[in-house]
Chain A
Amino acid sequence: MTTNDYLSIVHGALATISMSLVSIVLGVPLGLGFALIRWSRLPFFNQLTIAYVSIVRTCPAVTLALMIFFALPQFGISLDPVPAGILTLTLSTAAFNTEIWRSALMNFPRDQYDAALSFGMRRGTRFRRIVLPQIVRSSLPALVNEMTLQVKSTPAVAVIGIVEITRAAIRVGARTYDPLPPFIFALVLYSVIVFAFVKTQRAIERRYDHAGAH
């Protein structure tokens, strides 16, 4: 393996990281939105969300990526591989995030909500000041866990031609006829990314614990 080969896999890592980050930044609030629809039992949209979560949760990411990339143009929406990949990853992570947010909302103590109500807080304020800070805290470990799973499912978008870590490693292996070294390098890169997420979670949790002590 030459330096260029290593560089090309690192380049793939940038694609993996940026696509994961974009889909997380979009998918976490989207999941919260869906969870709120479920929580408020908004008619029609509630059923729609139930169906979406149930289907996407069981749909392989590869199949979803292929469907979005090849079938959307039929409806006049033609996406390049990168936006199609981001859409795939966002839709799939949002489905899991919906369930995480929803379980936090379901476990939210009712009396606090009533207390806020008795202080005359309006709906928006109640949610922003009372509910949101606490459900963010209780959902964090599960959300980060889902983020690490998300990083590991990014290779699925390689099927629509995006060159991320795995595909970059394959290319190097195919050229040098020695697939083991690039694969092992790819493995190290994945481990570093996943480790970075776990570290960040621990750091945020420590800050929360610190804030909670005051």
Chain B
Amino acid sequence: MGEFAIVWEHRGMIMDGFESTLIIVALAAIGSLALGTLLTIPLMSRHRVVAAFATGYVDAMRCVPFLLFVYLIYFGLPTLGVRFDNWSAGVTALILYNAGYMAELLRASWKNLPKETIEAGHAFGFSGWGLFRRIILPPVLFAALPLIGNQLIQIVKDSAFLTIIAVAELTHEATSLQTTYFVPFASFFAAVVLYWVTCIVIESTVGFANRYAEVRR
């Protein structure tokens, strides 16, 4: 039990890492949802070429393992002249990668949207961006809510990979705590519990939002 006492004594380190993880996840969640939403428009486009490019992007993201993608951004882009520090490289990678998944699940939800809704929108004089924002997007987002929740949990799990490019997130801090004081079980156990709590909070928040959406429908 002495091990847990050491981790408790240095809880500041773990909490700093946890805070970074939460900030990274929040930025990545907002960024990938926004970018994914925008990406859904070309994905559903009637222009073949536009749709093919968007589909290509989504499929590429779904084929690459996240770690390889992080390396691609962190080490690969500088050879093309784009420079990043590890923090922004990590967040950028999370956003670009998960935007592909977000776009794909929003596309599926959009396809299930009844035609009448869009036709009614047309009849009321909505078109273009206004039609998308006011008529299409709200029901599409509501219907996709549980899947968006799953993807948010995936973002939490992916964020742990950023330890490899030395972003000081939760797993990274747990590793440095365990190497300094040799308390591997207690420090990783603390990290696992914090990841678990984060995901449970996300799940219950999404569940709550889902019930709210059901009531409004």
Chain A contact residues, CB within 8 Å of chain B: 54-55, 57-64, 66-67, 70-71, 73-75, 151-156, 158-159, 165-166, 169-170, 173, 178-180, 183, 186-187, 190-191, 194
Compute how far the CA of A61 lies from the CA of B192 in the bound complex, rounded to whole angstroms. 10
Contact of A60 among B63, B160, B175 (CB under 8 A): B160
Q: Which of B71-79, B119-127, B207-215 contacts A (4 or more CB under 8 A)?
A: B71-79
11 A-B residue pairs with Cβ-Cβ distance under 8 Å, sorted by A, are A58-B198, A63-B188, A64-B192, A66-B188, A67-B185, A71-B188, A71-B189, A159-B163, A178-B79, A183-B68, A191-B63
- Does B64 sit within 8 A of A, measured CB to CB? yes
Smallest Cβ distance from A87 to chain B, in angstroms?
14
Q: Indicate if the CB atoms of A63 and B65 lie closer than 8 Å.
A: no
Compute how far the CA of A190 lies from the CA of B72 in the bound complex, rounded to whole angstroms. 14
Q: Indicate if the CB atoms of A155 and B68 lie closer than 8 Å.
A: yes
Compute how far the CA of A155 lies from the CA of B80 in the bound complex, rounded to whole angstroms. 25
- Does B157 sit within 8 A of A, measured CB to CB? yes
Contact of B171 among A60, A166, A183 (CB under 8 A): A60
Number of chain B residues close to chain A: CB under 8 A? 37
- Interface of A, secondary structure class, is helix
Chain B contact residues, CB within 8 Å of chain A: 63-68, 71-72, 75-76, 79-80, 153, 156-161, 163-164, 170-171, 174-175, 178, 184-185, 188-189, 191-192, 195-196, 198-200
Question: Which residue on A lies nearest to B72, using beta carbons?
Answer: A183
Q: Indicate if the CB atoms of A67 and B160 lie closer than 8 Å.
A: no
Compute how far the CA of A13 lies from the CA of B192 in the bound complex, rounded to whole angstroms. 29
